[in-house]
Structure 1
Amino acid sequence: MRRSKADAEITRCAILNAAADLFAKQGISRTRLDDIASAAGVTRGAIYWHFSDKESLIVAMINRVNAPTEAAMAALNTKESDTLSLDTLKQVVVDAFSRTYHTPAAAQITRFVLRYSLSNETELLNAHIEHNRKVSFAHINQFIEKAQNAGLVTPELPPECIASHIRSHIIGLFHQHLSSPPPGISPDDVAASMDLVLKGLRPAPK
């Protein structure tokens, strides 16, 4: 009997959830596809039906976590100048953090990405993480350019410099939360921290 698309998606999610848990606990090199299949309750063949190899599975894990934030950042940059607000950028960051804060699987995958982003574990993985870094930086940079044109952000610094500062701060918040004893920092803490950063970027009063 042929499986429905819904059944296939359930299996795919089970594989990704199992992989996220095992990779976070024991690392990439020590986790076999057989381990993932056993934890997910599927066959090794089912994994290969969805993913060509372990690296493509890792990329899918990262994409699943990044997708909501990526969509929100893209939507952020479609706003007209007269509706632009620094609070909208803050909300995108807080929403992304909240998904990590409230969803254990998202926290595991985010921790995994932070842990392996500089490890040179695999060429494909490093290339994908670098691609995501460039995309997120481009979104923030575009937003800052529009905010400067709208008079919301100081024009005294290049947008690339400001975007780099904001992105580094965001990564630092996630790292602090995931490396701290539970419960770590809260979404309210992140909102307050982003308020401080964005307040410092506003133009000086004339």
Structure 2
Amino acid sequence: MATRREQTSHESSERILVAAAELFAAKGYRQTTFADVAERSGISRGSIPWHFGSKEGLLLAVLERSVALIGAGLAEPDEPEAPEAGFDRLMAGAQALLEMPTTKLFVTLLVEALEPGSPIHGRYVEIHDTLRGHCRRWLERLPLPPGVSAEVLAVAISGAVIGIHQQWLLAPERVDAQGALAALRAMVASAVLPVGE
């Protein structure tokens, strides 16, 4: 059982991570300072490096936490289910991903992840691997068209969901994200579900 001190330390870390994720998503990594995170979290500025070592350490911890949240949000059922139910869960996962606060963070930090020598490049690869992996495992339960692998279709679906989200973030008044997801669902359903489902 955790001591009171350990519990307080954990609570402080969580407040810092939540505040940092919000600020990185809103302002970007480079524009966010420890002072910003301290003000948003209510935790002293000096405590942040004590918990995470450096700003880069804080960023990596934020991304690690975000990957864990995505994994939990896309959890798969223990029991086998009908293809239609599996497909519905897959598309519900796409909807949930669009609505996750952390998804904006991934879009905001993408440019930094692409820079040579970026400390978050590996985490971004892991995030995309996680998304494709969940999608692929769902697709492996469905009757896919001949010549279409679950791996390739997972790349297409996750790419479409990420692209819809990016367009919506840039111009929410011009992009109907819900309509685009519904269209994606209809297209994928016509390819993977038996006629009449």
Normalised to the residue count of structure 2, the TM-score between the two structures is 0.76
Instruction: Indicate conservation of the 8 Å contact 2:25/2:104, yes or no.
Output: yes
Can you list the C-alpha shifts for 1:124-149, whole angstroms capped at 9, x where unaligned? Answer: x11111122123222222322221xx
Confirm whether residue 109 of structure 1 aligns to residue 101 of structure 2: no
For the residues of structure 2 that align with 1:48 and 1:111, how far apart are their CA atoms?
25
Deviation at 1:62, TM superposition (A): 2.4
Corresponding residue for residue 50 of structure 1: 51
Corresponding residue for residue 176 of structure 1: 167
Instruction: Indicate conservation of the 8 Å contact 2:74/2:93, yes or no.
Output: yes
Deviation at 1:14, TM superposition (A): 2.9
Change (3 A) 1:140 1:21: closer
Gaps of 5+ in 2: none
Letter in 1 for 2:132: F
Letter in 2 for 1:49: W
Q: How does 1:3-82 map to 2 (within 5 A)?
A: 4-76=5-77, 78-80=78-80, 82=82
Deviation at 1:178, TM superposition (A): 1.3
Can you list the C-alpha shifts for 1:63-109, whole angstroms capped at 9, x where unaligned? Answer: 33333431243425x44254652111001111222334xxxxx4642
> SS of the residue aligned with 1:44?
coil
Confirm whether residue 127 of structure 1 aligns to residue 117 of structure 2: no
Gaps of 5+ in 1: 101-105
For these two proteins, the number of residue pairs brought into alignment is 192
Deviation at 1:23, TM superposition (A): 2.8
> SS of the residue aligned with 1:172?
helix
Can you list the C-alpha shifts for 1:151-181, whole angstroms capped at 9, x where unaligned? Answer: 3x32331222211111111111211221114
Normalised to the residue count of structure 1, the TM-score between the two structures is 0.74
Letter in 2 for 1:112: T
Instruction: Indicate conservation of the 8 Å contact 1:94/1:191, yes or no.
Output: yes
Confirm whether residue 193 of structure 1 aligns to residue 183 of structure 2: yes
Corresponding residue for residue 138 of structure 1: 133
Deviation at 1:120, TM superposition (A): 4.1
For the residues of structure 2 that align with 1:128 and 1:197, how far apart are their CA atoms?
31
Instruction: Indicate conservation of the 8 Å contact 1:155/1:203, yes or no.
Output: no
Q: Identity, % of aligned pairs?
A: 23
Corresponding residue for residue 149 of structure 2: 158
Change (3 A) 1:196 1:120: farther
Q: Which moved more, 1:137-146 or 1:79-88?
A: 79-88
Deviation at 1:183, TM superposition (A): 8.9
- Measured on the aligned residues, the alpha-carbon RMSD in Å equals 3.1
Corresponding residue for residue 103 of structure 1: none
Can you list the C-alpha shifts for 1:1-38, whole angstroms capped at 9, x where unaligned? Answer: x8545533442233223323443454323433344334
